[in-house]
Amino acid sequence: MFDIKKIEQRFGRDTELLGLAVDIFLKDYPKRLEKIKQSIDVHDAIALRQTAHALRGAVSNFSAQELVKIAHQLETMAEKGQFDEATVAVYLQLEQGFERFGVALKAARP
């Protein structure tokens, strides 16, 4: 799901900084997921694109490439104005991925 060695390198092996980043991320990502869900529900392409992009950037700091790709899919769907069952399915995939990722990240937190 993620490579802890890459994450440590990205944070210059500063475990205090990494721990702070993990704490902030774990507190923030559920809010972003909820905003993505709301954006899909009301067909707000701008909010969906912006929030998916921000979430993609945040999770890329933790080398979670699968989640980066899924968030990018939602960005692309928003750019096309695509709000259908496929968009909901991609969102659900993202939500489930973040549930697993959050648990794994907490367990690996320095």
Backbone angles phi, psi at 56, to 5 degrees: -60, -45
The amino acid at residue 7 is I
pLDDT value at residue 5: 80
Q: What is the pLDDT along the chain (110 residues), one digit of tens a residue?
A: 677 788 888 888 788 998 999 999 999 999 999 999 999 999 999 999 999 999 999 999 898 999 999 999 999 999 999 999 999 999 999 999 999 999 998 888 77
Q: Does domain 14-108 have CATH number 2.60.120?
A: no
Q: Which long-range contacts (CB under 8 A, 24 or more apart) does 11-17 make?
A: 15/110
Q: Which long-range contacts (CB under 8 A, 24 or more apart) does 93-101 make?
A: 94/33, 94/36, 94/67, 94/70, 95/33, 95/37, 97/64, 97/66, 97/67, 97/70, 98/29, 98/30, 98/33, 98/59, 98/67, 100/1, 101/1, 101/2, 101/59, 101/62, 101/64, 101/67
pTM score, two decimals? 0.89
Would you kindly state where each structural domain of the chain is located, as residue ranges? 14-108
pLDDT value at residue 28: 96
Q: For residue range 33-64, what is the model confidence (pLDDT) as tens digits?
A: 999 999 999 999 999 999 999 999 999 989 89
pLDDT value at residue 53: 98
DSSP assigned state of 40: H
pLDDT value at residue 29: 96
pLDDT value at residue 32: 97
